[in-house]
Structures are given as structure tokens and as C-alpha cells.
Amino acid sequence: MGETDVHWPVPPHNGFTFDDMQASRDLSRRVELIDASLVFTSPLSAFHVDTVDLLVHGLRSTLPKEFRVRREIPVILDRSNAPAPDVTVISAHVGRDQLSCEPLDVHLAIEVVSPDSESRDRTTKPYKYGRAGIPHFWRVERDGTGRKPLVHVYELDPITRAYVHTGMHRDRIKVDKPYAIDVDLTAIEEL
């Protein structure tokens, strides 16, 4: 085989677990565990990177001391599922060097939709986050112009453990849960 040949990991009989994923040094940092399968994500677009930067900065600007904002930290939902939201608001007691977290420590999971992740970000992940009890979920897509983010905000119904859509935010996202957040979404044009 040539130097450019890819060596794909062979799944165990019952599929991958988070421990398998962590044990493999050959995996990209941009891989998630969904339904015991490894999901490799495509290279990020400028829109995706800029949107994540904008949200991280905005979330941190009013962040209470009991929370922390992280990028792409795997959330261990169960032994076969460890998705890594693009942005996560977690409890501050989760150490800065900790490489994963539990659903009980997650207060907000944010997914920025890319062409290769559209189905997962719209259906699979919100379903799994809701079943795991994560109280808040945002799905971020391009607005009609394709230049600015459009943020869909969801809150968990504790009875059904499904998300309820509570709003769409185009120019500014201003919410009070999980804490007071105010982000100017038009600022992406300055990045």
C-alpha cells in the first residue's frame, strides 16, 4: 500500500464504545461516536468556524462562575454514544483538562449545521441529547442570505424528554436560560 492509503478502523463485533475511541491514537480529533459507529466530520467551512467563534465569545462574555464554555467536548451519553457538540456550556467543576463530560454536567449543547451533518444535527443529536436530559439545545444554520447565523432555541420538556422550540433568532440572540445570554449575531460580518 502507498503512503496515502487510508487505514480505516475495523469495528468490534458489537460496535465501538467510547473507551475504544479514546484508546485509538490514530483517530482524528473530529470524530464522534453515534450508535456505536465512528462518525468522521468533514473539514469545517469558514461560516462554521466563524459562527462557533462568535458564539463562544458571546457565551463567555456574560458567563457566570458556575459555568464553563467548551468546544467539541465529547458528551458520554452511554457506552455507544459520545457526540461532541460544536459548543457546550458545562458545569464549572468539569476540569479544564477533562477530555469528556457527562450529560448531567451539560446545560446547553449547540450544533452548527454543516452539509454533512444536517440530518444528525436536526434529528439524531437533539433526540439523543433530550433523552439524556440536557436541558437546552441550539441548532444554528445559515440565514436566508447565507452570511449570518440563524439560531433555533429549544428547551427540554421534562415529561417527554423531547425539545420544544422556543424561538428563532436572526440578528441577536437574547435569552435567560441557562443564564443571561446576549449575542449580536450580525457581528459575524466583522470576523
pLDDT tens, residue by residue, 48-66: 999 999 999 999 999 999 9
Whole-prediction pTM value? 0.92
CA dist 180 and 31 (Å) reads: 31
| Percent of residues, the chain, with pLDDT higher than 70 | 94
Task: Give me 115's grid cell.
Answer: 452539509
Q: Which pLDDT belongs to residue 178?
A: 98
Q: Where are the alpha helices (DSSP H) in 141-189?
A: none
Q: Which pLDDT belongs to residue 35?
A: 94
Cα-based angle 144, 149, 150 (whole degrees, multiple of 5): 70
Question: Is 87 in contact with 70 (CB distance < 8 Å)?
Answer: yes
Cα-based angle 45, 46, 48 (whole degrees, multiple of 5): 65
- Report the sign of the C-alpha dihedral through residues 138, 142, 144, 150, in that order: positive
CA dist 16 and 9 (Å) reads: 10
Q: Average of pLDDT values for 17-33?
A: 79
Above 80 in pLDDT, residue 148?
yes
